[in-house]
């Protein structure tokens, strides 16, 4: 894969026709090591956020993966043969359960209803070495995107399911998801208190508590407290819960591990006032900028001497014919931005590469590796939101470009 010193060096050297993902494996390793060193339990990587970085998190020392499909299982098994995988999708096909158990040796399965429990027991032929996780429904009120509408069980039905699952499981776990991009540590506090109440009502002894994902990244519109505050809150509540001293604590970060690890370089095809028409959009790698209206960090890839000192708020339109291909922003960019300029959009390591479609034929993308840091960071590794190449000629950057393939 081509490698460059920076996104600016890449844009100068290649003048790309199609959107380019600039990947930063070092950012993944930094985030992974932070969780390994700071979370007081076991960390799983939520593969759905970006399967491209499976081998990267493994190289950093994390070899336990939250998988949701046979395709993800096959991918992890191919990249990390000694991985442990936990099948944490609460609704699975019968074939997926059979293959996961018998072909890939998976023993961890989640569920949120008795029908799914029956399915797991039937397709594993009544196996007695299953670690079964009951997914409870908890509040998502502190999240930027609620995930409470599809999965989870609560109340008396949850008590009955926990009791029955306890009888079938080698180890019984409880899992939950408090939502995506959590903005307050109390999100975990409230969710874990709900779980504690459910444990008391059920009278079961659990072996594993999985607090799920939701750990945030940083964006211009969404600046959460330090991750250490989330971990401290989780640890404090866990110490008070009605669980045994041997109960394990798990988490499943996805966004927090990989969001900073990729940015997307796009080109301005047309400017209409404060609307920029760019060559990628909602149906490509910028879905979250359109639907939940995330605002990503941005910068124009021009030398500092060519940039306007004043910033202006812009919105984006993607390349397709659909009027839904709109990203309201606002995205702060130099006032003199125009056709032909390249924009780096940061914070796109999570979900962006996975949600691309082929709509209207605008599906081409390129991948490169860059050595500069992310535009914004939860881990103290961000570069300033300005070009490293300020007042440096394009010829010098061409000479500085890192050689060859990696």
> What is the per-residue pLDDT across 81-139, written as a single tens digit (0 to 9) for each?
999 999 999 999 999 999 999 999 999 999 999 999 999 999 999 999 999 999 999 98
- The residue from 258, 289, 319 where one domain ends is 258
Contact between residue 20 and residue 278 where contact means Cβ atoms under 8 Å apart: no
Whether 199 and 271 share a structural domain: no
Whether 78 and 216 share a structural domain: yes
Do the domain assignments include residue 271? Answer: yes
Whether 19 and 58 share a structural domain: no
Report residue 383's pLDDT band, with 50, 70 and 90 as the boundaries: low
pLDDT score at 392: 31
- How many domains are there within the chain? 2
Give the residue from 164, 102, 168 showing the smallest Cα distance to 129: 168
Contact between residue 257 and residue 45 where contact means Cβ atoms under 8 Å apart: yes
CATH assignment at residue 370: 2.40.37.10
Q: Which two tokens stand for residue 215?
A: 């750990």
Domain that holds residue 99: 26-258
Burial category of 65 from C-beta neighbours within 10 Å (exposed 0-12, middle 13-18, buried 19 and up): buried
Whether 357 and 318 share a structural domain: yes
Mean pLDDT for 190-216 is 96
- Give CA separation, 228 vs 27, 82, 88, 215, 249, in Å: 18, 30, 25, 11, 16
Whether 142 and 206 share a structural domain: yes
CATH assignment at residue 176: 3.20.20.10
Average pLDDT, the chain: 92
Query: In the predicted model, is pLDDT for residue 302 greater than 80?
Result: yes
Do the domain assignments include residue 405? Answer: no
Give the residue from 382, 372, 385, 383 showing the smallest Cα distance to 3: 372
Whether 160 and 286 share a structural domain: no
Q: Specify the pTM.
A: 0.90
pLDDT digits (tens, 9 = 90+) for 21-69: 999 999 999 999 999 999 999 999 999 999 999 999 999 999 999 999 9
pLDDT score at 31: 98
Question: Alpha-carbon distance 75 to 258, whole Å?
Answer: 17
Query: In the predicted model, is pLDDT for residue 275 greater than 60?
Result: yes
- The residue from 202, 234, 258 where one domain ends is 258
Do the domain assignments include residue 133? Answer: yes
Contact between residue 257 and residue 351 where contact means Cβ atoms under 8 Å apart: no
Question: Alpha-carbon distance 319 to 323, whole Å?
Answer: 10
Do the domain assignments include residue 406? Answer: no
- Residue written as token pair 């920029």: 276
- The residue from 258, 290, 322 where one domain ends is 258
Query: In the predicted model, is pLDDT for residue 281 greater than 90?
Result: yes
pLDDT digits (tens, 9 = 90+) for 235-262: 999 999 999 899 999 999 999 999 999 9
pLDDT score at 217: 95
Do the domain assignments include residue 127? Answer: yes
């Amino acid at each position: 894969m081509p490698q460059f010193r920076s996104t600016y060096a890449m844009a100068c050297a290649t003048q790309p026709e199609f959107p380019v993902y600039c990947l930063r494996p070092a950012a993944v390793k930094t985030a992974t090591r932070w969780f390994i060193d700071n979370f007081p339990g076991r960390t799983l990587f939520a593969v759905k956020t970006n399967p491209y970085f499976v081998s990267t998190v493994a190289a950093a020392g994390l070899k336990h993966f939250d998988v949701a499909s046979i395709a993800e299982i096959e991918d992890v098994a191919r990249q990390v043969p000694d991985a442990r995988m936990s099948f944490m999708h609460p609704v699975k096909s019968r074939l997926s359960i059979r293959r996961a158990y018998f072909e890939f040796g998976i023993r961890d399965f989640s569920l949120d209803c008795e029908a799914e429990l029956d399915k797991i027991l039937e397709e594993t032929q009544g196996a007695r070495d299953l670690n079964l996780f009951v997914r409870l429904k908890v509040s998502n009120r502190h999240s930027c995107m609620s995930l409470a509408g599809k999965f989870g069980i609560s109340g008396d039905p949850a008590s009955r399911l926990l009791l029955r699952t306890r009888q079938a499981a080698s180890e019984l776990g409880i899992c939950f998801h408090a939502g995506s991009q959590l903005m307050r540590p109390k999100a975990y506090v409230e969710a874990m208190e709900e779980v504690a109440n459910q444990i008391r009502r059920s009278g079961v002894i659990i072996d594993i508590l999985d607090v799920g994902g939701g750990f945030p990244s940083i964006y211009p519109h969404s600046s959460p407290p330090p991750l250490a505050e989330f971990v401290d809150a989780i640890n404090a509540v866990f110490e008070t819960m009605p669980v045994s001293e041997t109960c394990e604590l798990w988490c499943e970060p996805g966004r927090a591990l990989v969001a900073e690890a990729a940015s997307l370089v796009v080109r301005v095809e047309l400017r209409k006032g404060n609307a920029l028409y760019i060559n990628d959009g909602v149906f490509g790698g910028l879905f979250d900028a359109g639907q939940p209206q995330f605002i990503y960090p941005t910068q124009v890839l021009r030398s500092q001497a060519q940039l306007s000192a004043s910033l202006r708020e812009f919105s984006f339109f993607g390349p397709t014919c659909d009027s839904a291909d709109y990203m309201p922003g606002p995205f702060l960019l130099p006032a003199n931005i125009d056709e032909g300029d390249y924009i780096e959009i940061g914070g796109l390591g999570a979900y962006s590469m996975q949600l691309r479609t082929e709509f209207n034929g605008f599906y081409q993308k390129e991948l490169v590796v860059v050595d500069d840091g992310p535009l914004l960071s939860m881990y103290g590794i961000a570069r300033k939101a300005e070009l490293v190449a300020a007042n440096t000629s394009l010829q010098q950057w061409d000479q500085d470009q890192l050689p060859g393939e990696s």
